[in-house]
Amino acid sequence: MEILTWTYIIVGLTFALYIGIAIWSRAGSTKEFYVAGGGVSPLANGMATAADWMSAASFISMAGLISFMGYDGSVYLMGWTGGYVLLALLLAPYLRKFGKFTVPDFVGDRYYSKTARLVAVICAIFISFTYVAGQMRGVGIVFSRFLEVQIETGVIIGMVIVLFYAVLGGMKGITYTQVAQYCVLIFAYMVPAVFISLMLTDNPVPQIGLGGTLEDGTYLLDKLDGLLTDLGFSAYTNGSKATIDVFFITAALMVGTAGLPHVIVRFFTVPKVKDARMSAGYALVFIAILYITAPAVGAFGMYNMLNTTVNKPIASMPQWVSNWQKTDLIKIEDKNNDGRVQYVKDPAANELVIDKDIMVLANPEIARLPNWVIALVAAGGLAAALSTAAGLLLVISTSIAHDLLKKSVMPDITEKKELIAARIAATLAVVIAGYFGINPPGFVAEVVAFAFGLAAASFFPVIIMGIFSTRMNKQGAIWGMVVGLLFTIGYISYFKFINPEMSKPENWFLHISPEGIGTVGMILNFIVSFVVSRFTPAPPAHIQELVEDIRIPRGAGTATVHH
- Per-residue model confidence (pLDDT) at position 293: 95
- Per-residue model confidence (pLDDT) at position 536: 94
Spatial separation of the C-alpha atoms in residues 51 and 46, rounded to whole Å:
9
Spatial separation of the C-alpha atoms in residues 21 and 180, rounded to whole Å:
9
Check residue 147 and report its DSSP letter. Answer: S
Spatial separation of the C-alpha atoms in residues 37 and 400, rounded to whole Å:
20
Q: Which helix (H) or strand (E) holds 210?
A: helix 206-210
Spatial separation of the C-alpha atoms in residues 36 and 271, rounded to whole Å:
10
- Per-residue model confidence (pLDDT) at position 563: 43
Rg of the chain over Cα atoms, rounded to whole angstroms, equals 24
Question: Measuring CA to CA, how many Å separate 149 from each of 34, 101, 145, 159, 295?
Answer: 35, 39, 7, 15, 30
Q: Check: CB of residue 413 under 8 Å from CB of residue 405.
A: yes
Identity of the residue numbered 559: A
Q: What is the pLDDT along the chain (563 residues), one digit of tens a residue?
A: 888 898 889 988 988 888 788 777 665 666 656 555 556 788 888 898 888 778 777 888 888 889 999 999 888 888 888 888 888 777 877 877 787 767 788 888 899 888 888 888 887 887 777 777 777 877 888 888 887 788 888 888 888 877 776 666 666 667 778 888 899 999 999 999 999 999 999 999 999 999 999 988 899 999 999 999 988 888 999 878 888 999 999 999 888 877 776 777 777 777 777 787 788 889 989 999 999 999 999 999 999 999 999 889 988 899 899 888 888 889 998 888 888 998 988 888 889 999 888 888 899 999 999 999 988 998 888 888 877 777 777 777 777 887 778 777 787 888 788 878 888 888 888 888 888 778 776 555 566 777 788 888 988 899 899 999 999 999 999 999 999 989 999 998 888 878 888 888 889 998 899 989 999 999 999 999 999 999 999 999 999 998 888 877 654 444 444 44
- Per-residue model confidence (pLDDT) at position 164: 73
List CB contacts of 561: < 8 A, sequence separation 6 or more: none
Q: Check: CB of residue 131 under 8 Å from CB of residue 456.
A: no
Spatial separation of the C-alpha atoms in residues 366 and 299, rounded to whole Å:
13
- Per-residue model confidence (pLDDT) at position 445: 59
Domain spanning 3-333+340-348+352-550: which superfamily? Sodium/glucose cotransporter (1.20.1730.10)
Question: H helices then E strands: how many in the chain?
Answer: 24, 2
Identity of the residue numbered 143: F
- Per-residue model confidence (pLDDT) at position 384: 82
- Per-residue model confidence (pLDDT) at position 171: 64
Burial call 498-516: b when 16+ CB within 10 Å, e when fewer: eeeeeeeeeebeebbbbbb
**Residues β-bridged to residue 213:** 219
Helix axes 151-201, 114-146, angle to 10 degrees: 70
For the whole model, what pTM was predicted?
A: 0.83
Q: Which helix (H) or strand (E) holds 331?
A: strand 330-332
